[in-house]
């Protein structure tokens, strides 16, 4: 390729770990949409290998190629662990991937989704249609455009599962890592419910997980995480925070998970009951990060 053609290429930086001196970048073969919204910088572009991708404030949010791993593990682990989920709250999740996985559960009766930036949802619907796959049209959805940190204090309802599919603790997402938000979410949990949070890649962002676990430890009798490796959340396995007062949930048997999985009859690309159980087996460095100071 000529120097001119190379220089014409646009590469979009993943700058989340710039403070650690670690940058990755994705060739943008085509930029589909770019805007400084009222909340954040939003870009949706095409990459030859990962397909359509979205980045917010320089952090990769979702790619068509690997989103199934994250969305299946953030959604089906709490729902199958609980076993009788009727009401789900999603905080964030603007691209619709979590919503898509939640509504695949026919026994779920209601989903409230609270997204701070309407532009993310509006442009994901148009440019990332495979991610939401029509889920925004599901009649069980109550879509609210608001700050999730406020919503959990203002909303009177309760939910069996709360999934915080937030950006990282920068910009609008920062408030979703504060104890005040977690306390509000805990108040919204129905008896036996569980709070699950996007908690970054511990190898790169250990303090994020440590901070959440310290706060969860003050709010819940069970404060732990489970892991899944998403290629474009660089730096190793990602932690999904788990806070609940229902001690049964984490220890649900493989036999029960297999029975619920069979009953739900949902075709998966990553989740299996065995992967579910294995995800809670944590390596020592993650245990050490979570250990109380
Ligand atoms: N899967 C991605 C990840 O793990 O980083 C997150 C995807 S989703 C696009 C993150 C969403 O959180 C965005 O749509 C963003 O607008 C939303 N968000 C950020 N802060 C928020 C807040 N305070 N309340 C509600 N939604 C928020």
CATH of residue 278's domain is 3.40.50.150
Q: What is the pLDDT of residues 37-60, one digit of tens each?
A: 999 999 999 999 999 999 999 999
**Same domain membership, residue 159 and residue 47:** no
Cα gap 228→201, rounded to integer Å: 10
Choice from 92, 150, 176, 202 to test ligand 1 binding pocket (greatest atom count within 8 A of CB): 92
**Same domain membership, residue 89 and residue 45:** no
Residue 114 Cβ inside 6 Å of ligand 1? The answer reads: yes
Mean pLDDT, to the nearest integer, of 234-250?
A: 96
Residue whose C-alpha is closest to residue 197's, from 114, 78, 290: 78
Choice from 66, 136, 165 to test ligand 1 binding pocket (greatest atom count within 8 A of CB): 165
Query: Which of 19, 46, 63 finishes a domain?
Result: 63
Q: What is the pLDDT of residues 172-209, one digit of tens each?
A: 999 999 999 999 999 999 999 999 999 999 999 999 99
Residue 94 Cβ inside 6 Å of ligand 1? The answer reads: yes
Q: Which atom of ligand 1 is nearest to the CA of 59?
A: 5
Residue 120 Cβ inside 6 Å of ligand 1? The answer reads: yes
Q: Which atom of ligand 1 is nearest to the CA of 166?
A: 12
Choice from 115, 151, 177, 239 to test ligand 1 binding pocket (greatest atom count within 8 A of CB): 115
- Per-residue DSSP letter, 283: -
Mean pLDDT, to the nearest integer, of 164-170?
A: 94
Cα gap 201→86, rounded to integer Å: 30
**Same domain membership, residue 212 and residue 90:** yes
Query: Which of 63, 82, 103 finishes a domain?
Result: 63
Residue 149 Cβ inside 6 Å of ligand 1? The answer reads: yes
pLDDT > 70: what percent of the chain? 98
Residue 231's domain spans which residues? Answer: 67-290
Cα gap 278→293, rounded to integer Å: 26
Residue 116 Cβ inside 6 Å of ligand 1? The answer reads: yes
**Same domain membership, residue 277 and residue 254:** yes
Partnered with residue 239 across adjacent β-strands are: 227
| 86 touches 107 (CB < 8 A) | yes
pLDDT at 4: 56
Q: What's the chain's average pLDDT?
A: 95
Q: What is the pLDDT of residues 82-112, one digit of tens each?
A: 999 999 999 999 999 999 999 999 999 999 9
Mean pLDDT, to the nearest integer, of 225-241?
A: 97
In the structure encoding, which two tokens stand for residue 278, read together? 């294995």
pLDDT at 9: 87
């Amino acid at each position: 390729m000529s120097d001119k053609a190379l220089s014409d290429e646009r590469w979009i930086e993943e700058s989340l770990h710039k403070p650690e001196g670690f940058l990755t970048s994705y060739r943008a073969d085509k930029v589909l949409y770019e805007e400084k919204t009222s909340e954040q910088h939003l870009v949706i572009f095409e990459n030859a290998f990962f397909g359509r991708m979205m980045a917010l404030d320089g952090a990769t949010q979702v790619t068509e190629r690997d989103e199934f791993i994250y969305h299946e593990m953030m959604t089906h682990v709490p729902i199958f662990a609980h076993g009788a989920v009727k009401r789900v709250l999603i905080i964030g999740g603007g691209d619709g991937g979590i919503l898509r996985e939640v509504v695949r559960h026919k026994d779920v009766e209601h989903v409230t989704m609270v997204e701070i930036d309407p532009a993310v949802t509006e442009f994901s619907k148009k440019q990332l249609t495979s991610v939401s796959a029509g889920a925004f049209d599901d009649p069980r959805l109550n879509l609210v455009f608001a700050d999730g940190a406020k919503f959990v204090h203002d909303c009177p309802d309760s939910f069996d599962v709360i999934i915080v599919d937030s950006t990282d603790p920068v910009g609008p997402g920062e408030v979703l890592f504060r104890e005040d938000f977690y306390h509000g979410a805990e108040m919204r949990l129905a008896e036996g419910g569980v709070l699950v949070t996007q908690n970054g890649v511990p190898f790169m962002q250990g303090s994020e997980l440590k901070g959440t676990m310290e706060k969860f430890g003050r709010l819940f009798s069970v404060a732990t995480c489970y892991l899944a490796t998403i290629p474009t959340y660089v730096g190793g396995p990602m932690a999904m925070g788990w806070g609940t007062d229902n001690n049964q949930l984490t220890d649900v048997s493989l036999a029960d998970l297999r029975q619920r999985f069979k009953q739900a009859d949902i075709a998966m690309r990553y989740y299996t009951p065995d992967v579910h159980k294995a995800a809670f087996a944590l390596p020592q460095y993650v245990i050490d990060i979570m250990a109380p100071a």
